[in-house]
Amino acid sequence: MWGCLVALMGLFFLVRWYRERQVVSQLTDKYVFITGCDSGFGNLLARQLDMRGLRVLAACLTEKGAEQLRRQTSDRVETVILDVTQTESITAAAQWVKEHVGDRGLWGLVNNAGIALPSAPNEWLTKQDFVDMLNVNLLGTIEVTLNLLPLVRKARGRVVNVSSFLGRLSPFGGGYCISKYGVEAFSDSLRRELSPFGVKVAMIEPGYFQTNIVDKKKFRQSMEAIWNQANPEVKKVYGQEFLEACDHLLKPLFGQDLPLVTDCMEHALTASHPRTRYSAGWDAKFFYIPLSYMPTCLVDAMICWLSPKPAQAL
């Protein structure tokens, strides 16, 4: 019995390995639009796809980021300025993409643009802090997708949304986890709706990576700014030591290299049989995502044990 079970599991992984090695044909004729290419995952993915010979339409928030990317890539990469929180900017970028791809349609849409700050206990934040986060990470993703879906459908292409392990688990407050839960739900519904048209939707769920949108220095500065604006009662309840202890929240469990994420994105765009979800990073694979499947009482106990304690906690 156990021998049969092992054999079946071995066959399953062998078949999956074979299917995932099959690559889409004529990649050099396909266009991919990527948001958030100034730095981090988007910037690296644009350069990576350029080396594979794909035609990359890279959206950057700043002209400086666009210029730097153009210097690092071939003439297959073209850039456009895009602010995913502004409808006018999204509409203009969508028209720009349409003019470039023509009748071929858009093979790949990668919703990568995002922010991670401010992140803090919910009581420290204002409604506007949540709104600002959702406007970029969730509503920006939705509006960009809605504007480009006709082009993706025409090409029978791919939509790749960057979520996070924090789209399954919420160990801290603020809008980031909320926004990523929303990206997961949007991607699930989109995948089922677009399946009849031959369009595939994939989610990338990275663990913790040091990028320009959040590093220890920026996180510390953001927390101090929020703390300085907090009312005296909140400061008394949480205490200065809580603020100091928050620095440990950004300590990675494993060594993390950005290609662990961009390789997943590339596979989702170029494989004949992409996965629905990609767990990117060793911490996501072996700790955070497995943790999300555990009983709630165990997850709560572990997160509380690892988290800073307020001064007036019971």
| Enzyme catalytic residues | 176
CB 72 within 8 Å of CB 49:
no
Question: What DSSP string runs through 122-168?
Answer: GGG--HHHHHHHHIIIIIHHHHHHHHHHHHHHHHT-EEEEE--GGGT
Question: For the chain, how many residues are written?
Answer: 314
CB 260 within 8 Å of CB 280:
yes
The DSSP call for residue 107 is S
CB-count exposure of residue 278 (10 Å: 0-12, 13-18, 19+):
buried
Instruction: List the one residue out of 109, 48, 72, 70 whose CA is nearest residue 266.
Output: 48
CB-count exposure of residue 187 (10 Å: 0-12, 13-18, 19+):
buried
